[in-house]
Amino acid sequence: MSMLCKCGHVMSDKIVPNKVIYWTYTKENWLQRIKVAKGEFLIVESHAIWNCEKCGRLHYLKNGTRHTYDIEPIELNNVDCLCKVPFSKGDLEEYYSMNDFEMDEIEDKIRKNESYNFPRRVRFCPNCKRVFVQKDDKLKVFCLEELVDLKV
């Protein structure tokens, strides 16, 4: 499948593994994914988040609607909305997100019973619709830029 970003870049998942899609799991679904990595046959729900390597936008498809998020140029200490307190308290919806290459590394460590770290943590605020992506000690804040109904 291919998806066109607002910047004009064509994102494609035709090459596997790829860095275009971040497979994103809730905590509960990640626990099920660990069982799959160890050889159990389960159906595990994940969310595919498309990452444009050209402009950095995130794209998420849900119920026939494409959500496009753009990087918001703010520092965490300047978050001036209702999510500032829940963010600092850790009360936002939390997800684990990784591309195919990162997933392969983690699954290999799971099978060997080795410890692993997630490459990024994703938190979502349902109040302000911001997405917070933390990778190592860097935090990127994305704001909802556009909703497109694909059912038209």
pLDDT tens digits along 15-48: 878 888 899 998 889 989 888 888 888 888 888 8
User: Domain limits of the chain?
Assistant: 2-149
Return the DSSP state at 36.
H
Check: pTM over 0.75? Answer yes or no. Answer: yes
**pLDDT > 60? residue 131:** yes
Joined tokens for residue 49: 């988040």
> Helices H, strands E: what count in the chain?
3, 10
pLDDT of residue 116: 92
